Structure 1
Amino acid sequence: MVELEGRLVEIIFQNEANGYLVGILDCEDEEVTIVGCLPALKEGEVIAVKGKWIVHPTYGRQMDVKEYRHVQPSTKEGILNYLSSGVIKGIGKKMAERIIDHFGTDALEVIQYAPQRLTEVSGIGEAKAQTIAEAFEEQRELREIILFLSQYGISPGFAVRIYKKYKEMTIAYIQENPYRLADEIIGIGFKKADLIARTMGISPNSKYRIHSGIRYTINTFHTEGHTYAPSDLLIDRARELLGVEEEAVVEGIQEMALKQKIQLERQDEEIIVYSMPYFYAETNCCNKLIELSQIALDTLEIDVDEEISNIEREDGIYLAENQKEAIRQAITNGILVITGGPGTGKTTTINTLIKVFEKLKKKIVLAAPTGRASKRMTEATGKEAKTIHRLLEMGYSDEDEGMLFQRNEDNPLVGDVIIIDEVSMVDIMLMNSLLKAISRGTRLIFVGDVDQLPSVGAGNVLRDIIDSQVIKVVRLNEIFRQAGESMIVVNAHKINQGDYPILNHKDKDFYFINRSKNDDILNTIIGLVKERLPKHYKFDPIRDIQVLTPMKKGDVGTLNLNKELQNYLNPPDKYKRERELREKIFRVGDKVMQIKNNYTLKWTSLDVDAEEKQGEGVFNGDIGYVQYINTEEQELTVFFDDNRSVVYSFTQLDELELAYSITIHKSQGSEFPVVVMPVTWGPPMLLTRNLLYTAITRAKSLVVLVGTENYLRRMVDNNKIVERYSGLGIRLKKFFDFQNS
């Protein structure tokens, strides 16, 4: 390897997350471009590097750095350059010159070992000397910590985050208990901490290890949609993870409960275990829902039935009796749930509610869980609907490394009536945040289809609320004539009731193509998306047609379907930039989806007046299109469906997936002109009635199923719903039973 030493005179590009840097190194004889993992460097620092020469097609010869170390400058000129570079907070060029004039080549030793002597320099008092000493020490500590953690496979970006939390105690804390990394640093899981601990020789029976393993196991229940874990299942899973005796796990659970790290409750004959955030969220939701259902409301002076008749006449619409009942109940109840399947008039009911409350001069607020759902709500009502996150004014706390909402019990939402659509998608944590921000006297109306899949996050909120009988519920069950002409609507209700759908009705919007082999199913789907549907119906193959599938793996899972559809719909082209990430390729023009919540990603958008808006937060399930790839800046720009533009660094691309095909779970809250779906073999848990129901109700204009009628019938017949361990319904029922005892 080639070795060079010099001063970093310019940083062209620097990624703080992974430490990647492109810079110019002044090696006296020449200036060299260096690239590689060079974390926490600043312009002006002197470093020694080892690496190999490479030739970039655009930028020419560069050194690909494999190793580097800091070199403390020893000459007056070198020390002056270092101190005046801005590396040390509090020292600018003029102050650096005064320090060098006074201490000469001893300047750095004075700063490190005798910082009080800095007061000998004009313009430096005791406080300034202390600030300079602390900044110098922080730089030294950070380098040490990056080096220490790198031996355990922890990236520079995480090392910086860890240092920000623990400061000078970082190494001591980790050596004492590496499992605190899993418990306190988002992104470092139990398995990584366990690997570090084993390397350090920490006992497998360490209390730290057992407690952290229990906490990790409870979190796996949360990722599966549960708000709590039955103790027997928790013990079995934790024992398997940790490889210890059952007694050690039981003892660990008891110790954590005594320290109020977890919450134990008795439910019927079993003990259940909560992590504290989910326990607080569930109990708060229960209390707030009960409060809203019982609070005395202001009396509204209106003849509801007369007003409904006026709206029917003015808008030329007809409301079913249940729709009218929903409007009456919204007037008299603090909280109301309106549920119904496709074609039952949920949107018409919302629009009528808006008109009634506007007549009463009430401020109405509209929201939905996702960007796509809020956009649909805006289009359907003609009123602005926000995402719940935006409504609650989401912020981000660097200190807690988590999201914060500006709207809460101390700063509630301003509105007389708040209507939330697609509530089946709302998990227990988001519901808790929403309910905290609802003030006394506000009317809260939940709208959703309880037969859809439950939320991706933990909980079964809408079903729990409905089943409890504590909250007033109105079910819309009349299919309107126009909707009844749609086979999508007819078949959705048939499937939901366990009846076999009507297939291939002439000139309708619901078709089934019989194919038995997976490769035939795959080729048929490609042909439909690429040629047949665009040619016959004029649908855009990328923007209008969405392939939904129950699974990720296999010939007709999302991974293979996306690869094949990308090749046909957006093939490689010498004029299209692309970026490869492991087994994925992102290309300009690709349809992509955000697959995790990222509360700090910045976005910009133009409103109707062409004014630029800015904000933070891109969420799981948001769909957009790759607009631009900048290989020089290592950035990829995505333009999302709700007109937001987001710039991703290449290191963030694992948050994106191709979205020509997505899982049915990921499609919740979305609506597409066309849905194409394979119907073939899969695990029974993925061949269920409500999965099929959810898929076909995502389609607005056309559904095409491709596969065998045998597996279609299996899906219709399979009404097994994967049980979710959720205590909200039980808590609400206890109150209901107590109230009626």
Structure 2
Amino acid sequence: MAKVETLTFQVAEIKFAKDGYHIVRTTRGDSVKGKFAARIGHCYKADGTWETDLTWGPWYKLESAVSIRMTSPEALGRFLVLQLKGKGVGEAFIGALVEAVKADNLDLEELLDKAQRDVLVECVGSRNAKKVDVLLDIWPKIKPAADLMSPLLGYGLSEAMAETVLALYGKKAVEMVEDHPYDLILRVDGVSFLTADKIAMKVGRTEKTDPKRLRAAMSTGMRDATSNGDIGVRRKTLLDKTMPLVNESILENGRRKMAPGVVPVVSLELLTKTLDDMIRGIYTDEDGAECGFSSNLLEYPDEKGEKVVWYRPLVEAEELIAKRLSKFSAAARPDLVARIDAVAAKLGAVLAPEQRSAVEKALTHPVTVVTGGPGCGKSFLLKVLLAVMDGASLRGNLAAPTGKAAKRITESTGRKAFTQHSLIGYQPGGRCAFDQSCPLPADYLVIDEASMDDTELMAATLNAVGNNCRIIIVGDVDQLASVGPGQVLRDLIRAGVVPVTRLTKGFRFSGGIAAAARSVNSGVMPETTADGQFTFVDTETPTQDLMEAVKQLLREGVNPDDIQIIAPTHKGDAGCTALNKAMQALLNPEPKGGTHQRLRRDNGDIRVNDRVIQLKNDKDLGLVNGDVGWVVDISSDLTVTLMLPDRDKPVILNRNQAQNLSLAYAITVHKSQGAEAPYVLIALDRAASFMLRRNLPYTAISRASKRALLFSARSTFAGAVHRGEPAEGSRRTSLVSKLLAVMPVLAVPAVAVAKPVDPLAKAMLLDMDMDVPI
């Protein structure tokens, strides 16, 4: 009689299945037969006997089996690398150990026992015996974490993702990931649909046509659209982008496409039905019954009459902007208009006609907009306006989207400016300390650098003040639009429903920087200026030439902290990732000898003394997206001590909070908005030329106060300069139609409006009990 043996295995392939009976191939190549609930990717511990078939060879006859979690050697190896940092056991040793264990078909976790020391030493060689001892001493202390962390790493999650999952679900982390993999897309930063889908397929409980899977893919398409700044996406585009996600696909030129010659498992008809059901807010349960749910999708035509699927929360934010702007009713103050010239003279200057017009409009209309490029006198007219209103004992606030922008406004006006988030008490989830039930006490509100305001931030800000508050919105409409969804400033100007003043006369720095910025904004290619303020370097190797320029500036005695590199994207030879690594090697090279702490990042590790940028708002720490500081310490538990230029005391970030830090020697143009540096070096990579428009180099050049140096192939730079924004902007929004539905056009819009009021938008706003002009 054959001896009963225990076998632990993982299912790689199901060769036969009927009535609970399965024949499977394991990841080790063994054949297993018997009745059990086999799933691809799942691990089992079984009792049975080995038998031999004359045709098929040896196979394992399973009598009973229980499902277990078995960590792959690679996943456990990743965990060990992370846990053993700075303890003399490096990544190379762990990698060699994993390969040796796999080659000998051994179980790594079973070997991490002091009784197995000799076997481990034999695997990695006697020269590594001390490292084996360190590993065996530490293993009992970290094993509880390994039981949770290793499976998560094995599913392809990064360390940061896995730690977020553990923080969310605790001891049920692995169970929740396996039961609800698509929930990770919304709950864990960095988890894409493809990552969640790989987990779902590996767990083996989800069919390719599962409605949950298709809804998750469709939601990903919408999230991609909003992450690119759109409020909605064309129906056809959404379906075209989702089809390759849910079927076998290939990557071509950075874009995912359907694999040629492969019949899709998920048909276009099925995907279309899924989208229609999501818009209707219904789904079919396992019994075939239709159930309702609260959908985040809407469908109605855009300004051009095309079918567009809109993201409901952003549409509601647009509706709130329109509603609030239509309700502001601050009365005209001709008595204050009479004081304008005297106040300006007291401040030591005479307002230009267009500046005076802007101040007058602000004092005689409930809502006004002022737009203009760098050096056009926005700051001085604000000083005059603030002085006039303060002279009348009016209460007011000055705000901007980011901390950098607020600091610049404070310096230029002499008035304390706040970030909009801090002013209105903005909290995660969109809740605010101030709203219509408890409005911010203010007679006026100035929102500066408004080109950076996304739809939700502007909606929350306008909703935080009362109807009698006077609103003055200031910004450069020709700069890049906000990082977040929408193009509020452009749409507000385009609608023509509030008075707009466009400043065109230059006052501040009449030299090469201003000339180059204006030239780019006019669609004219600028050349190196005689005063040296702007330099264009025609090169096919922008990174190499830029780094040589940095070294030259350092030789001239320029403070490294006064140098800011700007690039359009993170990727590519001249992207932020490559430039940050090059700058770090130059300014903060890795110490020689010994061990030192670092924050590991795919886009460049962070070390002590590195310049870093905060990537997200953190209310608990008082940090906002775009804050730049310097790392002064990294402790053994990866707690970071950060010093910011406008703080007297350092900021302490725990390991999870520090995940929002990234190197900042080079930053994207979007991240540079609202900031200024004496020396700005700009790299335009030919590989990124498809995404370049003139507002990108225009924004980057205008960040410099002393010198701007731009490195690019001439054709790449020229292509960007000659490619302007379309009149309606580059983003798909519906704010213009929302505004026109509730506010009359005051004058000919500064930028042409593509189409009159959309009737569906008007109907939606009427449902909100708003006064709509007929």
**Shorter-chain TM-score: what band?**
0.7 to 0.9
Deviation at 1:405, TM superposition (A): 2.3
- Aligned mates of 2:474, 2:129 — CA distance in 1: 59
2:315 counterpart of 1:279:
yes
Q: In structure 1, how many angstroms separate the alpha carbons of the residues matched to 2:651 and 2:217? A: 36
Change (3 A) 1:18 1:572: closer
Give 1:404's aligned residue. 431
Give the one of 518, 521, 524 matched to 2:545: 524
Q: 1:475 to 1:171 in 2, by over 3 A?
A: same
Work out whether residues 338 and 447 of structure 1, in 8 Å CA contact, stay in contact via their aligned partners in 2: yes
In the TM superposition, 1:563-574 aligns within 5 A as: 563-573=581-591
Cα distance change, pair 740–626 in 1 and its aligned pair in 2 (3 A)? same
1:232 aligns with 2:232: no
Q: Give yes or no for the alignment of 1:695 onto 2:700.
A: yes
Note the 1:535-554 alignment, pairs <5 A.
535-536=555-556, 538-540=557-559, 542-554=560-572
Matches within 5 A, 1:77-226: 152=155, 157-163=163-169, 178-183=181-186, 188-198=191-201, 199-226=203-230
Equivalent residue, structure 1, for 2:444: 417
Distance 2:544 2:178 in 1: 56
Query: What's the counterpart of residue 724 of structure 1?
Result: 731
Which secondary structure state, in structure 1, belongs to the residue aligned with residue 730 of structure 2? coil
The answer to whether the aligner puts 1:469 opposite 2:496 as a matched pair is: yes
Cα pair distance change 1:251/1:680, threshold 3 Å: closer
> Match of 2:371?
339
**What residue is the counterpart of 2:609 in the other structure?**
589
* Residues 315 and 734, structure 2, Cα contact 8 Å, conserved in 1: no
Greater shift after overlay, 453-462 or 149-158? 149-158
Q: 1:598 to 1:50 in 2, by over 3 A?
A: farther
Equivalent of residue 669 in structure 1, options 674, 699, 720: 674
Partner of 1:626: 631
Deviation by residue 1:235-291 (Cα, 9 ceiling, x = unmatched): 111222122111112211221222241222233543221232112112212222222
Where 1:394 maps in the other structure, the secondary structure is: coil
Structure 1 Cα separation of the partners of residues 130 and 657 of structure 2: 23
Greater Cα offset, 353-362 or 558-567: 558-567
CA drift of 1:343 comes to 1.4
Partner of 2:355, secondary structure, is: helix
CA contact (8 A) 2:406 2:419 kept: yes
Please list, as runs of the form range in 1=range in 2, the aligned pairs for 1:478-497 lying within 5 A after superposition. Answer: 478-480=505-507, 483=509, 485-497=510-522
Report the AA paired with residue 231 of structure 1: R
Q: 2:354 aligns with which of 322, 327, 331?
A: 322
Asked whether the 8 Å contact 2:405–2:674 carries over to 1, the reply is yes
Contact 1:545 1:673 in 2 (8 A): yes
Letter of the structure 2 residue corresponding to residue 558 of structure 1 = C
**1:65 maps to which of 108, 118, 139:** 139
Inter-partner Cα distance in structure 2 for 1:358 and 1:253: 54
Instruction: Give the structure with the larger strand fraction.
Output: 1
Would you say 1:510 and 2:513 are equivalent positions? no
Contact 2:639–2:658 (CA under 8 A) maintained in structure 1: no
Rounded Cα–Cα distance in structure 2 between residues aligned with 1:183 and 1:327:
45
The match for 1:112 is none
Q: Deviations over 1:439-470 (max 9, x none)?
A: 11001111100000101111111101100001
Cα distance in 1 for partners of 2:688, 2:164 equals 38
What amino acid sits opposite 1:228 in the alignment? G
Residue 391 of structure 1 aligns with which residue? 423
Partner letter of residue 418 of structure 1?
L
* Structure 1 residue 366 corresponds to structure 2 residue 398: yes
Contact 1:51 1:64 in 2 (8 A): no
Q: Secondary structure at the match of 2:431?
A: strand
In structure 2, what is the equivalent of residue 302 of structure 1?
Answer: 335
1:289 to 318, 325, 337: 325
Q: Distance in 2 between matches of 1:19 and 1:355?
A: 60
Pick one of 241, 265, 274 that aligns with 1:252.
274
- In 2: Cα distance, 1:411 partner to 1:229 partner: 35
Contact 1:50 1:68 in 2 (8 A): no
Which residue pairs with 1:613 in the alignment? Answer: none
Shift, 1:495, TM fit: 1.6
Q: Distance in 1 between matches of 2:513 and 2:677?
A: 13
- Residue 460 to residue 60, structure 1, CA distance change in 2 (3 Å): same
Report the more deviating stretch, 549-558 or 347-356: 549-558
Aligned partner of 2:36 in structure 1 is none
What letter matches 1:291 in structure 2? K
TM-score where L is the length of structure 1:
0.72
Conserved 8 A contact 1:625-1:639: yes
SS of 1:285's equivalent in the other structure is helix
Contact preservation (8 Å) 1:183, 1:212: no
CA distance in 2, matches of 1:183, 1:300: 49
Residue deviations 1:131-175 (CA, integer Å, cap 9, x gap): xxxxxxxxxxx99998997875677644545448xx99x999877
Structure 2 Cα separation of the partners of residues 185 and 529 of structure 1: 38
What is the distance in 1 between the residues matched to 2:192 and 2:433? 29
Query: How far apart are the structure 2 equivalents of 1:278 and 1:19?
Result: 42
AA partner of residue 638 (structure 1): L
Quote how far apart the aligned CAs of 1:339 are: 0.3
Work out whether residues 512 and 704 of structure 1, in 8 Å CA contact, stay in contact via their aligned partners in 2.
yes
How far apart are residue 709 of structure 1 and its match?
A: 4.0
The 1:582/1:408 distance shift into structure 2, 3 A limit, reads same
Root-mean-square deviation (Å): 3.6
* Residue from 576, 582, 590 that aligns with 1:558: 576
TM-score by length of 2: 0.69
1:592 touches 1:624 (CA, 8 Å); kept in 2?
Answer: yes
Deviation readout 1:298-341 (Å, 9 max, x if unpaired): 45362414x22212321221211111111111112221111001
- Give the secondary-structure state (helix, strand or coil) at the position aligned to 2:719: helix
51 and 454 in structure 1: CA distance in 2 versus 1, 3 angstrom threshold: farther
Say how many residue pairs are matched: 591
Taking structure 1 as reference, are residues 449 and 236 closer, same or farther at Cα in structure 2, changes over 3 Å only? same
Percentage identity across paired residues of the two chains: 30
Contact 2:359 2:385 in 1 (8 A): yes
Distance 1:646 1:189, change over 3 A: farther
Match of 1:354 in 2: 386
CA contact (8 A) 1:300 1:360 kept: no
Amino acid at match of 1:546: Q
Q: Secondary structure at the match of 1:339?
A: strand
Q: Within 1, Cα distance between the matches of 2:483 and 2:641?
A: 26
Structure 1: which 5+ residue stretches go unaligned? 1-16, 23-47, 71-141, 397-401, 604-615
Q: How does 1:260-279 map to 2 (within 5 A)?
A: 260-261=294-295, 262-267=297-302, 268-279=304-315
Gaps of 5+ in 2: 1-78, 85-109, 118-127, 248-265, 282-293, 745-755, 758-771
**Matches of 2:312 and 2:692, distance apart in 1:** 34
Letter in 1 for 2:401: P
For residue 502 of structure 1, report the CA deviation from its aligned partner.
4.8
- Match of residue 6 from structure 2: none
Could you tell me how far 1:718 is from its partner in structure 2?
2.3
Q: Output the amino acid matched with 2:137.
A: M
Distance 1:187 1:684, change over 3 A: closer
Whether contact under 8 Å (2:447, 2:473) holds in the other structure is yes
> Residue 535 of structure 2 aligns to a residue in which SS?
strand
Following superposition, the deviation at residue 201 of structure 1 comes to 2.7
Map Cα deviations across residues 442-501 of structure 1 (whole Å, 9 max, x no partner): 011111000001011111111011000012211111222x53x32211221122112232
| Structure 2 match to 1:31 | none
Contact persistence 1:581–1:653 (CA under 8 A): no
Alpha-carbon contact 1:55-1:62 (below 8 Å) kept: no
